[in-house]
Amino acid sequence: PAPESCEAALQWIAARQGKFDHFIDGDWTKPQSKKWFESRNPATGEPLAKIAAGNTKDVDAAVAAARKAQKGWSALGGPARARFLYALARAIQRNARLLAVLETLDNGKPVRETRDIDIPLVARHFYHHAGWAQLQEQEFAEFEPMGVIGQIIPWNFPLLMLAWKIASAIAAGNTVILKPAEYTSLTALCFAEICKDVGLPAGVVNIVTGDGKTGEALVKHPDIDKIAFTGSTDVGRRIRSVTAGSGKHLTLELGGKSPFIVFEDADLDSAVEGVVDAIWFNQGQVCCAGSRLLLQEGIAERMIAKLQKRMETLRVGDPLDKSIDMGAIVDPVQLETITSLVGKGAEEGGIVWQPECKLPTAGCFYPPTLISNVAPAATVAQAEIFGPVIVSMTFRTPDEAVAIANNTRYGLAASVWSENINLALDIAPKLDCGVVWINSTNQFDAACGFGGNRESGYGREGGHEGMMEVLKPNFLSKLQ
Ligand code: NAD
Protein backbone atom coordinates (compact mmCIF):
# COMPACT_ATOMS: atom_id res chain seq x y z
CA PRO A 1 0.00 0.00 0.00
CA ALA A 2 1.06 3.60 -0.64
CA PRO A 3 2.21 5.52 2.44
CA GLU A 4 -0.47 7.53 4.19
CA SER A 5 -0.33 11.14 3.03
CA CYS A 6 0.59 13.64 5.71
CA GLU A 7 -0.25 16.64 3.54
CA ALA A 8 -3.56 17.48 5.27
CA ALA A 9 -1.97 17.25 8.73
CA LEU A 10 0.98 19.45 7.71
CA GLN A 11 -1.48 21.93 6.19
CA TRP A 12 -3.48 21.91 9.42
CA ILE A 13 -0.29 22.85 11.32
CA ALA A 14 0.77 25.44 8.70
CA ALA A 15 -2.69 27.08 8.76
CA ARG A 16 -1.98 27.86 12.42
CA GLN A 17 1.47 29.27 11.55
CA GLY A 18 3.03 26.22 13.17
CA LYS A 19 2.59 27.86 16.58
CA PHE A 20 0.12 26.86 19.29
CA ASP A 21 -1.08 28.74 22.37
CA HIS A 22 -2.91 27.36 25.40
CA PHE A 23 -6.64 26.71 25.22
CA ILE A 24 -8.17 28.50 28.20
CA ASP A 25 -11.77 29.55 28.87
CA GLY A 26 -12.91 28.42 25.43
CA ASP A 27 -10.26 30.29 23.46
CA TRP A 28 -6.62 30.39 22.40
CA THR A 29 -4.53 32.22 24.99
CA LYS A 30 -0.90 33.36 24.56
CA PRO A 31 1.50 31.92 27.15
CA GLN A 32 2.33 34.44 29.87
CA SER A 33 5.91 33.19 29.72
CA LYS A 34 5.96 34.42 26.08
CA LYS A 35 7.88 31.21 25.37
CA TRP A 36 7.21 28.33 23.03
CA PHE A 37 9.13 25.07 22.72
CA GLU A 38 9.67 22.85 19.70
CA SER A 39 7.88 19.56 19.04
CA ARG A 40 9.71 17.27 16.61
CA ASN A 41 8.77 14.35 14.42
CA PRO A 42 10.73 11.45 15.96
CA ALA A 43 10.76 9.53 12.68
CA THR A 44 12.68 12.27 10.86
CA GLY A 45 14.05 14.51 13.62
CA GLU A 46 12.46 17.49 11.86
CA PRO A 47 10.66 20.24 13.79
CA LEU A 48 6.87 20.02 13.55
CA ALA A 49 5.42 22.89 15.57
CA LYS A 50 6.03 25.36 18.36
CA ILE A 51 4.07 24.69 21.55
CA ALA A 52 3.35 27.18 24.37
CA ALA A 53 5.48 26.72 27.49
CA GLY A 54 3.07 27.07 30.41
CA ASN A 55 4.01 28.74 33.69
CA THR A 56 2.17 29.21 36.99
CA LYS A 57 0.23 32.23 35.67
CA ASP A 58 -1.11 30.19 32.74
CA VAL A 59 -2.12 27.47 35.17
CA ASP A 60 -3.81 30.09 37.40
CA ALA A 61 -5.83 31.39 34.44
CA ALA A 62 -6.87 27.88 33.40
CA VAL A 63 -7.90 26.88 36.94
CA ALA A 64 -9.90 30.11 37.32
CA ALA A 65 -11.72 29.39 34.03
CA ALA A 66 -12.47 25.82 35.07
CA ARG A 67 -13.73 26.94 38.48
CA LYS A 68 -15.96 29.62 36.94
CA ALA A 69 -17.53 27.08 34.56
CA GLN A 70 -17.96 24.15 36.94
CA LYS A 71 -21.24 24.91 38.75
CA GLY A 72 -23.05 25.79 35.52
CA TRP A 73 -21.73 22.69 33.74
CA SER A 74 -22.85 20.49 36.59
CA ALA A 75 -26.24 22.21 36.82
CA LEU A 76 -26.91 21.52 33.13
CA GLY A 77 -27.74 17.96 34.13
CA GLY A 78 -26.58 14.62 32.77
CA PRO A 79 -28.75 14.38 29.64
CA ALA A 80 -27.67 17.86 28.44
CA ARG A 81 -24.00 17.04 29.08
CA ALA A 82 -24.48 13.74 27.23
CA ARG A 83 -25.42 15.67 24.09
CA PHE A 84 -22.04 17.43 24.19
CA LEU A 85 -20.18 14.15 24.66
CA TYR A 86 -22.03 12.59 21.71
CA ALA A 87 -21.14 15.67 19.64
CA LEU A 88 -17.46 15.33 20.63
CA ALA A 89 -17.48 11.62 19.72
CA ARG A 90 -18.99 12.32 16.31
CA ALA A 91 -16.54 15.18 15.64
CA ILE A 92 -13.63 12.87 16.52
CA GLN A 93 -14.93 10.35 13.99
CA ARG A 94 -15.29 13.09 11.35
CA ASN A 95 -11.68 14.19 12.00
CA ALA A 96 -10.33 10.66 12.48
CA ARG A 97 -7.89 10.73 9.57
CA LEU A 98 -6.42 14.10 10.52
CA LEU A 99 -6.06 13.03 14.17
CA ALA A 100 -4.46 9.69 13.22
CA VAL A 101 -1.83 11.30 10.99
CA LEU A 102 -1.11 14.13 13.46
CA GLU A 103 -0.58 11.54 16.20
CA THR A 104 1.77 9.55 14.00
CA LEU A 105 3.80 12.64 13.03
CA ASP A 106 4.09 13.81 16.64
CA ASN A 107 4.67 10.46 18.36
CA GLY A 108 6.22 8.18 15.70
CA LYS A 109 3.75 5.31 16.14
CA PRO A 110 2.55 3.49 12.99
CA VAL A 111 -0.39 5.16 11.26
CA ARG A 112 -1.95 1.68 11.01
CA GLU A 113 -2.24 1.72 14.81
CA THR A 114 -3.40 5.33 15.22
CA ARG A 115 -5.99 4.83 12.47
CA ASP A 116 -7.28 1.40 13.55
CA ILE A 117 -6.78 1.44 17.31
CA ASP A 118 -6.05 4.78 19.01
CA ILE A 119 -8.57 7.07 17.34
CA PRO A 120 -11.52 4.60 17.21
CA LEU A 121 -10.98 3.93 20.93
CA VAL A 122 -10.96 7.69 21.60
CA ALA A 123 -14.37 8.04 19.93
CA ARG A 124 -15.62 4.96 21.80
CA HIS A 125 -14.63 6.55 25.14
CA PHE A 126 -16.72 9.64 24.43
CA TYR A 127 -19.71 7.58 23.26
CA HIS A 128 -19.49 5.32 26.29
CA HIS A 129 -19.27 8.21 28.75
CA ALA A 130 -22.09 10.06 27.03
CA GLY A 131 -24.13 7.03 28.15
CA TRP A 132 -23.01 7.47 31.77
CA ALA A 133 -23.89 11.18 31.68
CA GLN A 134 -27.34 10.26 30.45
CA LEU A 135 -27.81 7.79 33.34
CA GLN A 136 -26.05 9.80 36.00
CA GLU A 137 -29.10 11.04 37.87
CA GLN A 138 -30.37 7.46 38.29
CA GLU A 139 -27.09 5.53 38.68
CA PHE A 140 -25.25 8.00 40.92
CA ALA A 141 -28.14 9.73 42.66
CA GLU A 142 -26.21 10.19 45.91
CA PHE A 143 -23.07 11.54 44.33
CA GLU A 144 -21.88 14.85 42.94
CA PRO A 145 -18.91 15.85 40.77
CA MET A 146 -15.57 16.37 42.51
CA GLY A 147 -15.26 19.85 41.01
CA VAL A 148 -12.12 20.99 39.17
CA ILE A 149 -9.75 18.24 38.07
CA GLY A 150 -6.12 18.68 36.97
CA GLN A 151 -5.07 15.96 34.52
CA ILE A 152 -1.51 15.09 33.48
CA ILE A 153 -0.82 12.52 30.78
CA PRO A 154 2.16 10.77 29.10
CA TRP A 155 3.20 10.65 25.46
CA ASN A 156 2.64 7.00 24.58
CA PHE A 157 -1.08 7.24 23.67
CA PRO A 158 -1.51 11.03 23.62
CA LEU A 159 -5.12 11.38 22.48
CA LEU A 160 -6.29 8.11 24.02
CA MET A 161 -4.94 9.09 27.45
CA LEU A 162 -6.72 12.43 27.02
CA ALA A 163 -9.98 10.61 26.29
CA TRP A 164 -9.51 8.30 29.30
CA LYS A 165 -9.18 11.37 31.51
CA ILE A 166 -11.57 13.93 30.00
CA ALA A 167 -14.59 11.83 28.95
CA SER A 168 -15.50 10.51 32.41
CA ALA A 169 -14.63 13.76 34.20
CA ILE A 170 -16.83 16.05 32.10
CA ALA A 171 -19.60 13.45 31.81
CA ALA A 172 -19.89 13.58 35.63
CA GLY A 173 -20.07 17.39 35.71
CA ASN A 174 -16.46 18.26 36.51
CA THR A 175 -14.39 20.80 34.59
CA VAL A 176 -10.76 20.05 33.71
CA ILE A 177 -7.33 21.44 33.01
CA LEU A 178 -5.32 18.90 31.01
CA LYS A 179 -1.58 19.05 30.49
CA PRO A 180 -0.35 16.83 27.67
CA ALA A 181 3.20 15.42 27.63
CA GLU A 182 5.72 17.87 26.22
CA TYR A 183 6.71 15.58 23.30
CA THR A 184 3.14 15.11 22.06
CA SER A 185 0.73 18.04 22.42
CA LEU A 186 -0.68 18.31 18.90
CA THR A 187 -3.71 16.02 19.04
CA ALA A 188 -4.74 17.56 22.40
CA LEU A 189 -4.65 20.97 20.72
CA CYS A 190 -6.66 19.63 17.78
CA PHE A 191 -9.14 18.27 20.34
CA ALA A 192 -9.34 21.78 21.88
CA GLU A 193 -10.38 23.06 18.47
CA ILE A 194 -13.00 20.31 18.28
CA CYS A 195 -14.38 21.41 21.69
CA LYS A 196 -14.74 24.91 20.26
CA ASP A 197 -16.38 23.63 17.06
CA VAL A 198 -19.04 21.64 18.91
CA GLY A 199 -19.81 24.61 21.17
CA LEU A 200 -18.68 23.06 24.45
CA PRO A 201 -19.20 25.79 27.08
CA ALA A 202 -16.08 27.86 27.78
CA GLY A 203 -13.92 26.64 30.67
CA VAL A 204 -15.19 23.03 30.73
CA VAL A 205 -12.02 21.79 29.00
CA ASN A 206 -8.78 23.78 29.28
CA ILE A 207 -5.49 22.62 27.76
CA VAL A 208 -2.25 24.03 29.15
CA THR A 209 0.92 22.79 27.45
CA GLY A 210 4.41 22.54 28.89
CA ASP A 211 6.84 20.23 30.64
CA GLY A 212 7.06 18.77 34.15
CA LYS A 213 7.28 22.23 35.73
CA THR A 214 3.92 23.17 34.22
CA GLY A 215 2.58 19.84 35.52
CA GLU A 216 3.90 20.54 38.98
CA ALA A 217 2.31 24.02 38.99
CA LEU A 218 -1.01 22.30 38.31
CA VAL A 219 -0.43 19.74 41.05
CA LYS A 220 0.37 22.48 43.57
CA HIS A 221 -2.52 24.77 42.66
CA PRO A 222 -4.67 25.28 45.78
CA ASP A 223 -8.00 25.48 43.92
CA ILE A 224 -7.88 22.01 42.38
CA ASP A 225 -10.06 19.26 43.87
CA LYS A 226 -8.37 16.30 42.25
CA ILE A 227 -5.24 15.36 40.30
CA ALA A 228 -5.49 12.48 37.84
CA PHE A 229 -2.02 11.45 36.70
CA THR A 230 -0.77 8.89 34.20
CA GLY A 231 2.98 8.54 33.80
CA SER A 232 6.07 7.11 35.43
CA THR A 233 6.20 5.71 38.95
CA ASP A 234 8.91 8.23 39.90
CA VAL A 235 6.81 11.26 38.95
CA GLY A 236 3.77 9.59 40.58
CA ARG A 237 5.74 9.34 43.81
CA ARG A 238 6.72 13.01 43.56
CA ILE A 239 3.07 14.03 43.00
CA ARG A 240 1.99 11.99 45.98
CA SER A 241 4.49 13.77 48.21
CA VAL A 242 3.66 17.22 46.79
CA THR A 243 -0.09 16.73 47.40
CA ALA A 244 0.32 15.12 50.84
CA GLY A 245 -1.87 16.87 53.38
CA SER A 246 -3.56 19.07 50.77
CA GLY A 247 -6.89 17.24 50.79
CA LYS A 248 -6.74 16.80 47.01
CA HIS A 249 -8.06 13.54 45.63
CA LEU A 250 -5.52 11.62 43.57
CA THR A 251 -5.46 8.79 41.08
CA LEU A 252 -2.17 7.43 39.78
CA GLU A 253 -1.80 5.26 36.68
CA LEU A 254 1.88 4.40 36.68
CA GLY A 255 4.45 2.07 35.18
CA GLY A 256 4.50 -1.68 34.75
CA LYS A 257 6.62 -4.75 34.07
CA SER A 258 3.91 -7.18 33.12
CA PRO A 259 4.48 -10.94 32.93
CA PHE A 260 3.47 -12.95 29.85
CA ILE A 261 3.24 -16.54 31.13
CA VAL A 262 3.27 -19.46 28.69
CA PHE A 263 2.46 -22.95 29.98
CA GLU A 264 3.51 -26.17 28.26
CA ASP A 265 0.00 -26.87 26.99
CA ALA A 266 -0.43 -23.45 25.36
CA ASP A 267 -1.06 -23.03 21.65
CA LEU A 268 2.45 -21.77 20.92
CA ASP A 269 1.67 -20.20 17.55
CA SER A 270 -1.06 -18.07 19.12
CA ALA A 271 1.26 -17.26 22.02
CA VAL A 272 3.91 -16.01 19.57
CA GLU A 273 1.35 -13.66 17.98
CA GLY A 274 0.40 -12.61 21.50
CA VAL A 275 4.03 -11.69 22.23
CA VAL A 276 4.18 -9.59 19.05
CA ASP A 277 1.14 -7.66 20.26
CA ALA A 278 2.34 -7.53 23.87
CA ILE A 279 5.76 -6.00 23.27
CA TRP A 280 6.01 -4.69 19.69
CA PHE A 281 2.68 -2.84 19.54
CA ASN A 282 3.53 0.89 19.86
CA GLN A 283 7.25 -0.07 19.98
CA GLY A 284 6.70 -1.53 23.44
CA GLN A 285 5.92 1.93 24.83
CA VAL A 286 2.84 0.61 26.57
CA CYS A 287 2.34 0.74 30.35
CA CYS A 288 0.92 -2.79 30.43
CA ALA A 289 3.30 -4.22 27.78
CA GLY A 290 4.02 -7.91 28.37
CA SER A 291 7.72 -7.29 28.85
CA ARG A 292 8.67 -10.39 30.88
CA LEU A 293 8.24 -13.67 29.03
CA LEU A 294 7.89 -16.55 31.53
CA LEU A 295 8.21 -19.90 29.77
CA GLN A 296 7.57 -23.32 31.26
CA GLU A 297 10.78 -25.31 30.88
CA GLY A 298 9.46 -27.99 28.52
CA ILE A 299 8.55 -25.52 25.76
CA ALA A 300 11.09 -22.75 26.39
CA GLU A 301 13.46 -23.64 23.56
CA ARG A 302 10.69 -24.30 21.05
CA MET A 303 8.92 -21.05 21.93
CA ILE A 304 12.13 -18.99 21.63
CA ALA A 305 12.88 -20.53 18.22
CA LYS A 306 9.35 -19.78 16.96
CA LEU A 307 9.54 -16.26 18.34
CA GLN A 308 12.89 -15.53 16.70
CA LYS A 309 11.51 -16.76 13.37
CA ARG A 310 8.55 -14.40 13.73
CA MET A 311 10.81 -11.51 14.77
CA GLU A 312 12.68 -11.89 11.49
CA THR A 313 9.49 -10.89 9.66
CA LEU A 314 8.92 -7.66 11.61
CA ARG A 315 9.60 -4.47 9.69
CA VAL A 316 10.69 -1.26 11.37
CA GLY A 317 10.39 1.97 9.41
CA ASP A 318 8.49 5.07 8.35
CA PRO A 319 5.36 5.15 10.55
CA LEU A 320 3.35 6.53 7.62
CA ASP A 321 4.13 3.34 5.65
CA LYS A 322 1.04 1.20 6.24
CA SER A 323 2.95 -2.06 5.83
CA ILE A 324 5.47 -1.59 8.64
CA ASP A 325 5.10 -3.26 12.04
CA MET A 326 7.01 -0.78 14.18
CA GLY A 327 7.60 2.95 13.89
CA ALA A 328 9.87 5.34 15.78
CA ILE A 329 10.72 5.66 19.47
CA VAL A 330 9.26 8.92 20.78
CA ASP A 331 12.48 10.81 21.52
CA PRO A 332 16.30 10.47 21.43
CA VAL A 333 16.44 10.45 25.26
CA GLN A 334 14.04 7.48 25.41
CA LEU A 335 16.10 5.72 22.70
CA GLU A 336 19.25 6.21 24.79
CA THR A 337 17.53 4.77 27.88
CA ILE A 338 16.52 1.65 25.92
CA THR A 339 20.00 1.21 24.46
CA SER A 340 21.72 1.49 27.82
CA LEU A 341 19.30 -0.90 29.56
CA VAL A 342 19.85 -3.52 26.85
CA GLY A 343 23.62 -3.07 27.39
CA LYS A 344 23.07 -3.66 31.10
CA GLY A 345 21.08 -6.82 30.27
CA ALA A 346 24.09 -8.23 28.37
CA GLU A 347 26.48 -7.24 31.19
CA GLU A 348 24.33 -9.13 33.67
CA GLY A 349 24.49 -12.35 31.65
CA GLY A 350 21.45 -12.08 29.38
CA ILE A 351 21.69 -13.24 25.76
CA VAL A 352 20.65 -10.33 23.55
CA TRP A 353 19.10 -11.32 20.22
CA GLN A 354 17.89 -9.01 17.44
CA PRO A 355 16.83 -10.01 13.92
CA GLU A 356 18.71 -8.61 10.98
CA CYS A 357 16.61 -5.57 10.51
CA LYS A 358 17.15 -2.55 8.28
CA LEU A 359 16.54 0.61 10.29
CA PRO A 360 16.03 4.05 8.73
CA THR A 361 19.17 6.15 9.05
CA ALA A 362 17.49 9.34 10.35
CA GLY A 363 15.13 9.48 13.35
CA CYS A 364 14.80 7.37 16.51
CA PHE A 365 14.47 3.67 15.68
CA TYR A 366 15.22 0.51 17.64
CA PRO A 367 14.87 -3.11 16.49
CA PRO A 368 12.67 -5.74 18.16
CA THR A 369 14.84 -7.29 20.86
CA LEU A 370 14.76 -10.48 22.93
CA ILE A 371 16.99 -10.96 25.97
CA SER A 372 16.93 -14.58 27.09
CA ASN A 373 18.61 -16.37 30.00
CA VAL A 374 17.64 -13.55 32.32
CA ALA A 375 17.61 -14.01 36.10
CA PRO A 376 14.36 -12.81 37.76
CA ALA A 377 16.35 -10.32 39.87
CA ALA A 378 18.35 -8.86 36.93
CA THR A 379 17.95 -5.14 36.17
CA VAL A 380 16.23 -5.84 32.84
CA ALA A 381 13.76 -8.15 34.59
CA GLN A 382 12.88 -5.47 37.15
CA ALA A 383 13.13 -2.05 35.44
CA GLU A 384 10.50 -0.78 33.03
CA ILE A 385 12.40 -0.48 29.72
CA PHE A 386 9.44 1.11 27.89
CA GLY A 387 10.74 0.01 24.50
CA PRO A 388 10.57 -2.97 22.09
CA VAL A 389 12.53 -5.27 24.40
CA ILE A 390 11.24 -8.49 25.98
CA VAL A 391 13.20 -10.51 28.53
CA SER A 392 12.66 -14.23 28.94
CA MET A 393 13.08 -16.62 31.85
CA THR A 394 11.89 -20.11 32.67
CA PHE A 395 9.82 -21.76 35.40
CA ARG A 396 8.89 -25.34 36.32
CA THR A 397 5.60 -25.27 38.23
CA PRO A 398 2.55 -22.97 38.28
CA ASP A 399 3.52 -21.84 41.79
CA GLU A 400 6.96 -20.88 40.59
CA ALA A 401 5.41 -18.93 37.68
CA VAL A 402 3.24 -16.97 40.14
CA ALA A 403 6.21 -16.26 42.41
CA ILE A 404 8.33 -14.91 39.53
CA ALA A 405 5.38 -12.98 38.07
CA ASN A 406 4.73 -11.19 41.38
CA ASN A 407 8.42 -10.52 42.02
CA THR A 408 8.55 -6.87 40.89
CA ARG A 409 7.51 -3.59 42.46
CA TYR A 410 4.82 -3.18 39.80
CA GLY A 411 1.36 -4.73 39.50
CA LEU A 412 -0.35 -3.47 36.38
CA ALA A 413 -1.26 -6.40 34.11
CA ALA A 414 -0.50 -10.03 33.24
CA SER A 415 -1.20 -12.44 30.42
CA VAL A 416 -1.64 -16.20 30.92
CA TRP A 417 -1.42 -18.70 28.04
CA SER A 418 -2.74 -22.25 28.47
CA GLU A 419 -5.27 -24.52 26.78
CA ASN A 420 -6.29 -25.69 30.26
CA ILE A 421 -8.83 -23.10 31.36
CA ASN A 422 -8.89 -24.50 34.91
CA LEU A 423 -5.17 -23.87 35.24
CA ALA A 424 -5.49 -20.34 33.80
CA LEU A 425 -8.40 -19.50 36.11
CA ASP A 426 -6.49 -20.87 39.08
CA ILE A 427 -3.42 -18.72 38.27
CA ALA A 428 -5.22 -15.46 37.41
CA PRO A 429 -6.38 -14.42 40.91
CA LYS A 430 -2.95 -15.21 42.36
CA LEU A 431 -1.32 -12.57 40.16
CA ASP A 432 -1.04 -9.30 42.07
CA CYS A 433 -2.09 -6.89 39.35
CA GLY A 434 -5.03 -4.87 38.08
CA VAL A 435 -5.75 -6.77 34.86
CA VAL A 436 -5.22 -10.40 33.79
CA TRP A 437 -5.76 -11.50 30.20
CA ILE A 438 -6.15 -15.20 29.37
CA ASN A 439 -4.89 -16.31 25.95
CA SER A 440 -4.92 -12.67 24.88
CA THR A 441 -3.23 -9.40 25.70
CA ASN A 442 -3.59 -5.60 25.45
CA GLN A 443 -7.39 -5.70 25.36
CA PHE A 444 -8.99 -2.42 26.44
CA ASP A 445 -12.53 -1.22 26.52
CA ALA A 446 -14.16 2.00 27.68
CA ALA A 447 -16.62 -0.07 29.74
CA CYS A 448 -13.89 -1.82 31.73
CA GLY A 449 -12.01 -0.25 34.65
CA PHE A 450 -8.25 -0.21 34.02
CA GLY A 451 -5.55 0.44 36.61
CA GLY A 452 -2.84 -1.08 38.74
CA ASN A 453 -1.81 -2.39 42.13
CA ARG A 454 1.31 -1.66 44.20
CA GLU A 455 3.76 0.75 42.48
CA SER A 456 1.65 0.74 39.31
CA GLY A 457 -0.64 3.13 41.16
CA TYR A 458 -4.23 3.19 42.29
CA GLY A 459 -7.60 4.21 40.96
CA ARG A 460 -9.35 2.96 37.83
CA GLU A 461 -10.28 4.54 34.51
CA GLY A 462 -13.18 3.30 32.38
CA GLY A 463 -16.66 1.98 33.11
CA HIS A 464 -18.53 2.27 36.40
CA GLU A 465 -15.31 2.10 38.45
CA GLY A 466 -13.86 5.01 36.48
CA MET A 467 -16.98 7.11 37.11
CA MET A 468 -16.61 6.53 40.85
CA GLU A 469 -13.17 8.22 40.64
CA VAL A 470 -14.64 11.52 39.42
CA LEU A 471 -17.60 11.68 41.81
CA LYS A 472 -17.86 12.20 45.56
CA PRO A 473 -20.65 11.22 47.94
CA ASN A 474 -23.37 13.75 48.66
CA PHE A 475 -25.87 12.00 50.89
CA LEU A 476 -27.68 15.27 51.52
CA SER A 477 -28.95 15.13 47.96
CA LYS A 478 -31.25 12.35 49.22
CA LEU A 479 -33.08 14.93 51.32
CA GLN A 480 -33.84 17.22 48.40
P1 NAD B 1 6.58 10.94 32.95
O2 NAD B 1 6.20 10.55 34.32
O3 NAD B 1 7.96 11.37 32.68
O4 NAD B 1 5.64 12.14 32.44
C5 NAD B 1 4.24 12.05 32.45
C6 NAD B 1 3.65 13.44 32.52
O7 NAD B 1 3.99 14.04 33.75
C8 NAD B 1 4.14 14.39 31.43
O9 NAD B 1 3.06 15.19 31.00
C10 NAD B 1 5.17 15.23 32.17
O11 NAD B 1 5.35 16.52 31.63
C12 NAD B 1 4.54 15.33 33.55
N13 NAD B 1 5.45 15.60 34.65
C14 NAD B 1 6.78 15.36 34.74
N15 NAD B 1 7.26 15.75 35.94
C16 NAD B 1 6.20 16.24 36.64
C17 NAD B 1 6.04 16.77 37.97
N18 NAD B 1 7.05 16.88 38.81
N19 NAD B 1 4.79 17.16 38.36
C20 NAD B 1 3.73 17.03 37.53
N21 NAD B 1 3.83 16.55 36.27
C22 NAD B 1 5.05 16.15 35.82
O23 NAD B 1 6.14 9.70 32.05
P24 NAD B 1 6.31 9.54 30.47
O25 NAD B 1 7.74 9.25 30.19
O26 NAD B 1 5.64 10.66 29.75
O27 NAD B 1 5.39 8.25 30.20
C28 NAD B 1 5.83 6.96 30.37
C29 NAD B 1 5.34 6.38 31.67
O30 NAD B 1 3.92 6.44 31.74
C31 NAD B 1 5.69 4.92 31.81
O32 NAD B 1 6.19 4.67 33.09
C33 NAD B 1 4.35 4.21 31.59
O34 NAD B 1 4.28 2.95 32.17
C35 NAD B 1 3.41 5.18 32.19
N36 NAD B 1 2.03 4.95 31.69
C37 NAD B 1 1.11 4.38 32.54
C38 NAD B 1 -0.20 4.12 32.08
C39 NAD B 1 -1.22 3.47 33.00
O40 NAD B 1 -2.41 3.51 32.67
N41 NAD B 1 -0.83 2.88 34.11
C42 NAD B 1 -0.55 4.45 30.78
C43 NAD B 1 0.41 5.02 29.94
C44 NAD B 1 1.70 5.26 30.42
Number of other residues whose CB lies within 10 A of the CB of residue 422: 8
Residues 6+ apart with CB under 8 A from 153: 161, 162, 165, 178, 179, 180, 181, 230, 231
| Strand 47-52, strand 36-40: pairing | antiparallel
Residue 42 near ligand 1, beta carbon < 6 Å: no
pLDDT band at 1 (very low <50, low <70, confident <90, very high): confident
Whole-number Å distance, alpha carbon 387 to ligand 1 midpoint, is 15
Q: Please tell me the predicted confidence (pLDDT) of residue 91.
A: 98
Active-site amino acid positions? 253
Cα 156 to ligand 1 centre (Å): 9
pLDDT at 480: 60
CA 239-241-246 angle, 5° bins: 90
Give the tens place of pLDDT for each residue, 304-321: 999 999 999 999 999 999
Question: What local confidence, expressed as pLDDT, does residue 3 receive?
Answer: 87
**For residue 88, pLDDT beyond 90:** yes
Average pLDDT of span 342-348: 97
Give the mutation target among 55, 224, 230 for probing the ligand 1 site: most ligand atoms within 8 A of CB.
230
- 476 pLDDT band (50/70/90 cuts)? confident
Using the mean position of ligand 1's atoms as its centre, give its distance from the Cα of residue 29 in Å. Answer: 25
- Residue whose CA is closest, atom 39 of ligand 1? 253
pLDDT above 80: residue 479: no
Ligand 1, atom 35, lies closest to the CA of: 231
- Nearest residue (by CA) to ligand 1, atom 22, is 212
What was the pLDDT predicted at 478? 64
Q: What gap in Å lies between CA 83 and CA 163, rounded to an integer?
A: 16
Number of H helices, E strands in the chain: 17, 20
Q: What is the ipTM of this complex?
A: 0.95
At 187-221, the pLDDT tens digits run: 999 999 999 999 999 999 999 999 999 999 999 99
Ligand 1 contact via 4 beta carbon (within 6 Å): no
Instruction: Work out the pLDDT band at 237, boundaries 50, 70, 90.
Output: very high
- Cα of 427 from ligand 1 centre, angstroms: 30
